[in-house]
Amino acid sequence: MSSLCRIGVLQLADSAPVLVAHARDIFSRYGLNIQPVVMPSWANVADGLVWNGLDGALMFPPLAIMTALGQRGRAIGLRPGLPVSRGGNSIVLRGQAAAQSAWISEPDKKKAFHTWQSSLNRKPRLAVVHLYSTHYLILTRFLKKISVCRNTETDIVVMPPARMIEALLGGEIDGFCAGPPWGADAQLRHLAFAVSGSAATVPDHLEKMLILTDQWKMRYPDETKRLYSALSEAAILCNQSENSASVAALLSAKQENNGLNLPEKAVRSVLSDGKNITETMSFNTHIQTPELSFGWMIRDMLREGWLTPDDLTKLSALGWC
């Protein structure tokens, strides 16, 4: 058995390959000692990588890029890893059937947004899972597409995805962009309706990658290859419709039983055989060029002012562009 590798995950359905590989002893069959670590937030994931609490994590590229550049206290060698999931992010707004019908029936989505907003009697608070996230970039693209000014017509707040349903129930937020299954859960609970997401904004975009620290990869190069193989095998299982029920059951199990305590019905709806009420996700470990994988993200990050030309030089050396 190889040395321990601690992989950070959040309470998200696209963490499935890590949980499945662990539960079905796929990691063990490849001679790996992998410990999934359920983290409370993306900030905790980034800090775990920087300060040696984690050896790797399933995370979205913008956060990995900004963490590599030192946004969590010090720069750290983080390079592109194994792609794991694509798409799945949903943008939902507070409201039930009448609000959804009004949104759908109005062809001018800027007008539809302002009609919806008028029922709130204030500027809407929209949540994303982290500033440096695909979700923030996708929400920004959506608002720009419908000619709504993010900075003056909305308030953007950051919170862990697993807290968003509670925040929606309590009136703390009025909508969110989050990964699966939280958009589906909001719809199934009749708390919110979907207005956009990954498929309409950046179709088939890379969402989560397995990112390992340079320290772990250099120390255990053979284990890294076996880890990629094990996760690729688990990803195939997660994509197969005949496994959807067992994958959903695993992810909805309590954390003390090696699950993620996710809402099972919502998880089923975002898997391959679910009755899709929202964005579905897919698992795909095929490695593409940096431009195909990260090009749109890096261009949007430049527009946001997060990156400088000097940063691009550093990112090129790390393989991100």
Q: Does 261 share its domain with 291?
A: yes
Counted domains in the chain: 2
Q: Does 100 share its domain with 188?
A: yes
- How large is the angle between the packed helices 109-118 and 97-105, nearest 10 degrees? 150
Q: Where are the beta strands (DSSP E) in the chain?
A: 4-9, 33-38, 56-59, 82-87, 90-94, 125-128, 155-158, 175-178, 192-197, 206-212, 281-283
Residue with tokens 């400088």: 308
Q: Does 307 share its domain with 168?
A: no
DSSP state of 9: E
- Structure confidence at residue 121 as a pLDDT band (50, 70, 90): confident
Question: Do 87 and 281 touch, CB atoms closer than 8 A?
Answer: yes
Q: Does 181 share its domain with 82?
A: no
Residue 273 confidence (pLDDT) above 60: no
Determine if the peptide bond prior to 181 is cis (ω within 30°): yes
**pLDDT tens across 13-55, in order?**
999 999 999 999 999 999 999 999 999 999 999 999 999 999 9
Q: Which of 293, 247, 237 has its CA nearest to residue 270?
A: 247
Question: Do 179 and 88 touch, CB atoms closer than 8 A?
Answer: yes
Q: Does 264 share its domain with 236?
A: yes
Mean pLDDT throughout 236-254? 95
Q: Does 81 share its domain with 107?
A: no
Q: Does 228 share its domain with 310?
A: yes
Rounded to the nearest integer, the mean pLDDT of the chain is 95
Domain boundary among 148, 167, 201: 201
Query: How much is the pLDDT for 277?
Result: 60
13 three-state secondary structure: helix
- Structure confidence at residue 278 as a pLDDT band (50, 70, 90): low
Long-range CB pairs of 154-158 (<8 Å, 24+ gap) are: 154/123, 154/124, 154/125, 154/126, 155/123, 155/124, 155/125, 155/126, 156/125, 156/126, 156/127, 156/128, 157/125, 157/126, 157/127, 157/128, 158/127, 158/128, 158/129, 158/130, 158/131
- Structure confidence at residue 73 as a pLDDT band (50, 70, 90): confident
Residue 306 confidence (pLDDT) above 60: yes
Half-sphere exposure in the Cβ direction for 31 (13 Å, CA): 8
Measured in whole angstroms, the distance separating CA 144 from the mean position of its chain's CA atoms is: 21
Q: Which of 109, 25, 61 has its CA nearest to residue 292?
A: 61
Angstrom distance (rounded) from CA 267 to CA 53: 29
Mean pLDDT throughout 269-278? 67
- Structure confidence at residue 272 as a pLDDT band (50, 70, 90): low
Q: Does 282 share its domain with 210?
A: yes
Residues 89-116 as b/e (b if ≥16 CB within 10 A, e otherwise) read bbbbbbbeeebbeebeeeeebeebbeeb
- Structure confidence at residue 276 as a pLDDT band (50, 70, 90): low
Question: Do 253 and 259 touch, CB atoms closer than 8 A?
Answer: yes
Domain boundary among 162, 180, 201: 201
Tokens (6 digits) for 76: 């750290």
Q: Does 52 share its domain with 75?
A: yes
Q: Does 193 share its domain with 98?
A: yes
Tokens (6 digits) for 10: 């959040």
Which structural domain, as residue segments, surrounds residue 107?
Answer: 90-201
Angstrom distance (rounded) from CA 297 to CA 303: 10
Query: How much is the pLDDT for 126?
Result: 98
Domain boundary among 160, 182, 201: 201
Q: Which of 107, 99, 297, 273 has its CA nearest to residue 198?
A: 297
> What does pTM read for this prediction?
0.96
Task: Write the CATH number for 14.
Answer: 3.40.190.10
**Residue 77 to residues 10, 214, 220, 295: CA-CA distances in angstroms?**
22, 5, 15, 20
DSSP state of 174: S
Mean pLDDT throughout 296-310? 97
Q: Does 74 share its domain with 115?
A: no
Q: Does 216 share its domain with 121?
A: no
Query: How much is the pLDDT for 179?
Result: 96
Angstrom distance (rounded) from CA 291 to CA 278: 28
Query: How much is the pLDDT for 72?
Result: 87
